[in-house]
Amino acid sequence: MTTLPRFFSPRVPRLRARAWALGMLLALSGCNNFSGDERQQAEVIGNFYRIHLKNHAPGLPSAEELKQFEPLVSRALYSLLSRAEAADLRYHTVAGAQAAPLIEGDLFTSLYEGATSFAVQSCDSEADRASCQVAFRYQKEGADESWNDKILLVREEHQWRIDDIEFIGNDQSSQREYLSDNLADAIQQAE
């Protein structure tokens, strides 16, 4: 016998079920203007940044966060992230725990402090590659910054995955032009 999740149970008032459905509709409304591949691309980006904003850790992702990213990023980007994490561990083993991290600040957005919200604006595809403009905003402690970055995707195993990030920002980027460049620099610094 199949049991339905509690929010669909007859015991739960219909108002709660309707509120949940409305919440889900609003959460997905950022993708309403997209169709087909664009919707899938926006969903991958949305899932990636929801994980990242929830953890909101500066620098390289933790092993747990990296594991959560694995189904959302390309094999090449996952390899770079894993190699950078290993390089950071080696670096701190030699330099000591008090040494500054190889990468400081937010790794996945142009702004050092990171973002507090995001919205996928548009996606363009050509064969198995795509790029999506993402609007970011940082609103905290009196600060209010907005900027766009470009998320580059590749289709692997019939799924869209994030392959790199082009940091466009508003001339406030603490990053090099691409995420892959930042990771390659971190790996090289640790050698």
Q: Is the pLDDT of residue 7 over 80?
A: no
For residues 29 and 116, the answer to whether their CB atoms sit within 8 Å is no
Q: Write the CA distances from 136 to 22, 109, 115, integer angstroms.
A: 24, 8, 6
How many angstroms separate the CA atoms of 42 and 72, rounded? 11
Provide mean pLDDT across the span 63-85: 94
How many angstroms separate the CA atoms of 15 and 18, rounded? 5
- The first and second tokens of residue 182, run together, are 């930042």
* More confident site: 144 or 13: 144
Count of other CB atoms within 10 angstroms of residue 78: 18
Question: Is 0.85 topped by the overall pTM?
Answer: no
The per-residue DSSP string of 26-64 comes to: HHHGGGTT--THHHHHHHHHHHHHHHHHHH---BSPPHH
- Phi first, then psi, for residue 160 (nearest 5°) are -80, 135
**What's the pLDDT tens digit per position in 81-119?**
999 998 888 887 887 778 888 888 899 999 989 999 999
Q: Is the pLDDT of residue 184 over 60?
A: yes
**What's the pLDDT tens digit per position in 29-42?**
444 466 688 999 99
Sign of CA dihedral 177, 181, 183, 186: negative
Q: Is the pLDDT of residue 181 over 90?
A: yes
Give, in degrees to the nearest 5, the angle at Cα 176 between 122 and 163: 45
Residue in this structure with the two tokens 């980027």, named with its chain if needed? 173
